[in-house]
Chains A and B, each alone.
Chain A
Amino acid sequence: MGTADVEAVWRIESARIVAALTRFTGDFGLAEDAAQEAVAEALVSWPLAAPANPAGWLMATARRRAIDAIRRRTALQDRYALLAADAAVDEEPDPDRIDDDILALMFISCHPVLSPEARVALTLRVVGGLSSEEIARAFLVPVPTVQARITRGKKTIAAAGVPFELPPAAERRERLGGVLSVIYVIFSEGSTATSGDRLLRPEVAYEAIRLARTLAALQPAEPEVHGLLALCELTAARFPARTAADGSPVLLEDQDRRRWDFSAIRRGLAALAKASTRGLGPYGLQAAIAATHASALSVEATDWDRIVVLYEALGRVAPSPVVELNRAVAVAMASGPAQALAIVDELIASDRLPGSHLVPTVRGELLARLGRRPEARAELELAARLCANQRERSVLLRKAATLG
């Protein structure tokens, strides 16, 4: 067995092992350390002699390392209690218990006492089973940075005395929202990379989808979990058509829709149906917008009235200037550029998106459609000056130039 084989087993087992060990020791940091030691041992010993039951080997070794660590810090008289606990953990884990433990692991990794970066790193590491190197590659940061985030995160959990348990009912919904937003941050990094030379990084988005699927399986009665999963699946379905062969972005209206991933669209629509049982939340509404695009054969055939309504609803449950701007674009498609321009001008008057290149980009586009070419050109040039992305900037300048 090689490194990749060890990593493959770890991917499948990490959440169960860290969850079971945290339950056993009551110490999240210690459990994670012990699990990592077990992986390190596997990387050395499996290539020489592969165990008959790799998953069982990892769990047993991790548990031994956890016990070693506790022995080092435990007074003699407490060791008897430990031995009793040791026997208990040998029993076959109760499947319901392990599900709750994995859920508790997600909640602790996304705990509000942690920095946003630590939440992402810990979730990918303990729930997703990724190595520090893989996380560093996903977020384009140095490996020591990821390691420091994880170490600090574990210390924070210990210092704050965060218990390993499902959040009490009163906090449950809010804490679940915290987990969803960590998954969404990971997905967004893959669907519109904030740095690097690629627009899309599907391998990063994949990790988020995988986490969302796990969460949906463990929390099937939570509509927004299905809403987030639907949003991720439907957005990822468009990935194959979103970049040209040279890596440059392809706008929705120019995408070859035959290249969309129809199996992902089907999964997204199925998740959206589950999200719709008690009224859509912010993720579900965004998924519904993505679903409207996914079900249309072309930009012209898109139900823009429905998209306007969905953006209006989204603006009510999750007000944001970016949602307003998107609503303006949808209004332009549904009712024409003049009405959309009024929404954009209102945004500018209230100065809710200062310094963003998106506002002049949309405004320039609307002015161009209204035939106000000199104004349109000025807006697009302003957008180009504000835009940080080289590829997008050249598109804007090219467009401005055509307006003579």
Chain B
Amino acid sequence: MAKYMLIMRGTDESNAALLAGFEELAASTYKYIEDLVKAGVFVAAEGLDDARQGVVVDFSGETPVVTDGPYGETKELFGGYFLLDVASKQEAVEWAKRIPTVTGAKIEVRRVAGDDETPLETAGSGLESNGQI
């Protein structure tokens, strides 16, 4: 068992389609969340505001530089997430397939790392086998 984040990614076109059919989509999303709650897997879900309203704090230089607007040239912008507590990665994927959304949207499924592991370990950096951790 583990937590997974289902990250919603949309293009300009899919975001426009999403806004056009918003009421219907909102109703199916509430139903979807209800299903998640009844299945005992729901942890959290939130949607983000328009990426153009956001800012990016860039640490490339010596001091952080703040710019308005969406992050980089990314075509598929992060629009919101569901956080689920499921039995397996496959179950997370199965729930992702059921997310009410629009054509062109994408869902990225990512595991939440446990408290006793670092991304380095899970990436298999080899530090562990070298006895450094």
Chain A interface (Cβ within 8 Å of chain B)? Answer: 4-5, 7-9, 11-12, 54, 99, 102, 202-203, 206, 209-214, 217-218, 240, 259, 261, 263, 267
Contacts and interface: CB of A to CB of B under 8 A. Distances in A.
A213 B36 CA distance: 10
A263 B43 contact: yes
B109 to A, nearest CB: 12
A241 B91 CA distance: 27
Contacts of A217: 37-38, 40
B123 interface: no
A8 B93 CA distance: 9
A209 B91 contact: no
Given A8-B91, A8-B93, A11-B87, A206 B37 contact: no
Contacts of B95: 12
A217 B1 CA distance: 20
Nearest to B44: A263
A5 B40 contact: no
Given A11-B88, A210-B39, 11 more contacts: A4-B90, A5-B90, A8-B88, A8-B91, A8-B94, A206-B85, A206-B87, A212-B40, A214-B38, A217-B40, A240-B114
A211 B40 contact: yes
Contacts of B88: 4, 7-8, 11
A-B pairs, top 3 by smallest CB distance, nearest first, are A213-B40, A8-B90, A210-B40
B115 interface: yes
A8 B87 contact: yes
Contacts of B102: none
A310 B95 CA distance: 40
A128 to B, nearest CB: 9
B17 interface: no
A261 B40 contact: no
Given A8-B87, A11-B91, A206-B1, A240 B115 contact: yes
B99 to A, nearest CB: 13
Contacts, number: 57
A5 B94 contact: yes
14 contacts: A5-B93, A8-B87, A8-B94, A11-B87, A54-B94, A206-B1, A206-B85, A206-B87, A214-B40, A217-B38, A218-B38, A259-B115, A263-B43, A267-B43
Contacts of B91: 8, 11-12
Nearest to A2: B90
Contacts of A7: 88, 90
A100 B99 CA distance: 24
Contacts of A203: 1
B17 to A, nearest CB: 22
B55 to A, nearest CB: 27
Contacts of A9: 94
Contact of B39 (A4, A202, A214): A214
A242 B38 CA distance: 30
A7 B92 CA distance: 12
Contacts of B73: none
B105 interface: no
B116 interface: yes
A177 B120 CA distance: 45
Interface string B105-133: 00000000011100000000000000000
A214 B40 CA distance: 5
B78 to A, nearest CB: 20
Nearest to B43: A263
Interface in B19-67: 37-43
B37 A213 contact: yes
Nearest to B83: A263
Given A203-B1, A261-B115, A12 B90 contact: no
Nearest to A205: B1
A12 B38 contact: no
B40 A240 contact: no
A8 B92 CA distance: 8
Contacts of A261: 115
Contacts of B37: 213, 217
A239 B85 CA distance: 16
A261 B112 CA distance: 13
B64 to A, nearest CB: 27
A218 B39 CA distance: 10
Nearest to B91: A8
Contacts of B115: 240, 259, 261
Contacts of A102: 38
Nearest to A215: B40
Nearest to B112: A263
Contacts of A4: 88-90
Contacts of B1: 202-203, 206
Given A7-B88, A203-B1, A240-B115, A12 B40 contact: no
